[in-house]
Chains A and B, each alone.
Chain A
């Protein structure tokens, strides 16, 4: 049988990507699930089949539970704040109707977005530092702080400090996307509203918001799913400390697998994290579909 190359070109074109996806998704999952049922270490893969003992241990692991909570809280908080600021800033830029401002701010927004996260973490490590940092220097000088504050070492400030760093990096991204959502709005409804003498608040509430909301929700979900992967900032800024206050799942699995060398246990944690994220992702897509139908 001869294959008709021309007719099958579209299929042939996706063969490499399918192979690559097998390499990054299905095979690893089989491998990781397999290894999670064993008592493996990094030097000896697949030794001693122990069934679901690793999973049982994971559900009693308080550090792991805390890390899941921290990750979800981090992702939710930063995404909400970034979308809020990004949306507001984009709205203002549209309001003042100056093309130059839009271009200037968009271009500047690319800077944090493409700063390597490691370098971003370094910038903020420097800013938060009690001795060499910008914040402590001026807050102390202006008498707002009575003593220097080690942001990354305080129990209640370490997590907000990491969040703030993420906000610096990603607010510009949300701003860019919100701006393009606004720029795509049709003109006619606004002219009609103008003729009808609608107040600015009415225009925003009844016209702008319903039109942009579906897209803004998508941006939020997208940012949320990106934030769940947080690793670099925690590694560089706090290394999970103080205590386990900033322990996140990616970082904890990294510690278990590559510092404690417990690959079997790390595999079990990976599978649990993956299931959690899949459930969260499915949950938000169904909610999103329902809200779309409700509009």
Chain B
């Protein structure tokens, strides 16, 4: 009798573990599909950039029959000043990120610690983010032309600074919120001004967060398309997205060269993302989800 109960409970346990095992397999399959969904398109673009031009025109196979070639990459670098585009993007993104970080750091500190601007200011900042950029493009285009900054990297970086400001405030505010106030109070007692406290005490403590926020703003400026399209029209100041968008023209698409061109801009981004991934994740989730 007792034996039977024991064996019964054993089978129940076995069945339970079996079910858990089955459940885990389904979960595993779903998560693998998600990974494939993310990676296959990027992988396919990479493969396409290495296929023979003739085979690209005829088949979309994931594994080419006629082998690999660097022809597309060579042609891309020859036909388009892509290095110049990348250089322009780096310049624009660096200037705009540097400026936006200083402004956003001061603003988010002031809002979080002293409640400056009341509940209205954060709402207004959110509002500027919600507003579609196309609505103000008309005004910004005329202003940039009046200032003589059309087709100029300085002009574009100013605009990118304005665009990224709400996001930067948000990302940094998340880090300041989690910082205990005691240290700052001690600094004030020691005679530090509020300004000095921010840059000498607070900034070093949230440095990783500020760096990852800066990386995010840099990448957003790097990716920005609408204003880059409107405000730049020669290789002198064209950024990477606009430059590379010319591969998709009215007369059909050169897929091999387009893939190579796009990858030239994507691969550095992926390297940066992998280097900063853990702090970037903390910054994004910390800003979006209030604790």
A residues sitting closer than 8 Å to B (CB atoms) are 6, 9-11, 13-14, 16-17, 20-21, 23-25, 27-29, 31-32, 35, 45, 88-89, 92-93, 95-96, 101, 103, 105-112, 114-119, 122-127, 129, 131-138, 168, 172, 175-177, 179-181, 184, 215, 219, 222, 225, 228-229, 231-232, 235-236, 249-250, 253-254, 257-258, 263, 266-267, 270-271, 273-274, 277, 281
Residues of A within 8 A of B124 (CB): 21, 25
CB < 8 Å neighbour of B110 from A13, A126, A274: A13
Contact of B245 with A236 in the complex, beta carbons under 8 Å = yes
B16 at the A interface (CB under 8 A):
no
Looking at the assembled complex, report how far the CB atom of B142 sits from the nearest CB atom of chain A, in whole angstroms.
6
Q: Given A96-B24, A119-B266, A236-B245, A225 and B57 touching (CB < 8 A)? A: no
A271–B139 Cα distance when bound, in Å, is: 12
Residues of A within 8 A of B128 (CB): 21, 24-25
Contact of A116 with B265 in the complex, beta carbons under 8 Å = yes
B73 at the A interface (CB under 8 A):
no
Q: Given A21-B125, A116-B240, A228 and B41 touching (CB < 8 A)? A: no
With both beta carbons as reference points, the residue of chain A lying nearest to B47 in the complex is identified as A134
Residues of B within 8 A of A116 (CB): 222-223, 225, 240-241, 265-266, 269
Residues of B within 8 A of A271 (CB): 135
B183 at the A interface (CB under 8 A):
no
Contact of A9 with B195 in the complex, beta carbons under 8 Å = yes
B117 at the A interface (CB under 8 A):
yes
A2–B116 Cα distance when bound, in Å, is: 21
Contact of B135 with A254 in the complex, beta carbons under 8 Å = no
- Total number of A-B contacts with CB less than 8 angstroms? 267
A-B pairs, top 3 by smallest CB distance, nearest first, are A137-B60, A116-B223, A180-B285
Looking at the assembled complex, report how far the CB atom of A85 sits from the nearest CB atom of chain B, in whole angstroms.
8
B258 at the A interface (CB under 8 A):
yes
Contact of B138 with A13 in the complex, beta carbons under 8 Å = no
Tell which of B4-12, B76-84, B203-211, B274-282 binds the partner.
B274-282
Contact of A118 with B241 in the complex, beta carbons under 8 Å = yes
Most buried by A among B109, B138, B141, B262: B138
Q: Given A14-B106, A20-B103, A125-B253, A168 and B193 touching (CB < 8 A)? A: no
Most buried by A among B42, B225, B230: B225
Looking at the assembled complex, report how far the CB atom of A37 sits from the nearest CB atom of chain B, in whole angstroms.
14
B59 at the A interface (CB under 8 A):
yes
A23–B58 Cα distance when bound, in Å, is: 51
Contact of B131 with A122 in the complex, beta carbons under 8 Å = no
Contact of A126 with B130 in the complex, beta carbons under 8 Å = no
B residues sitting closer than 8 Å to A (CB atoms) are 24, 27-28, 30-31, 34-35, 37-42, 44-45, 48, 56-62, 103-104, 106-107, 109-111, 113-114, 116-117, 121, 124-125, 127-128, 130-142, 161-163, 165, 169, 193-195, 198, 219, 222-223, 225-226, 229-230, 240-241, 244-245, 247-248, 253, 255, 258-259, 262, 265-266, 269-270, 273-274, 277-278, 280-281, 284-285, 288-289, 291
7 residue pairs of the A-B complex, CB under 8 angstroms, read A10-B113, A111-B42, A112-B38, A116-B269, A229-B134, A254-B226, A257-B138
Looking at the assembled complex, report how far the CB atom of A19 sits from the nearest CB atom of chain B, in whole angstroms.
9
CB < 8 Å neighbour of B142 from A45, A117, A179, A231: A45
Residues of B within 8 A of A107 (CB): 273-274, 277, 281
Contact of B131 with A277 in the complex, beta carbons under 8 Å = yes
Q: Given A11-B116, A28-B140, A129-B60, A118 and B223 touching (CB < 8 A)? A: yes
Residues of A within 8 A of B253 (CB): 125, 129
A194–B262 Cα distance when bound, in Å, is: 52
Given contacts A21-B165, A253-B137, A273-B132, 14 further A-B contacts (CB under 8 A): A9-B110, A32-B139, A106-B281, A107-B277, A118-B262, A119-B241, A119-B244, A122-B259, A123-B45, A131-B58, A250-B133, A270-B135, A274-B132, A274-B135
Residues of B within 8 A of A123 (CB): 41-42, 44-45, 262
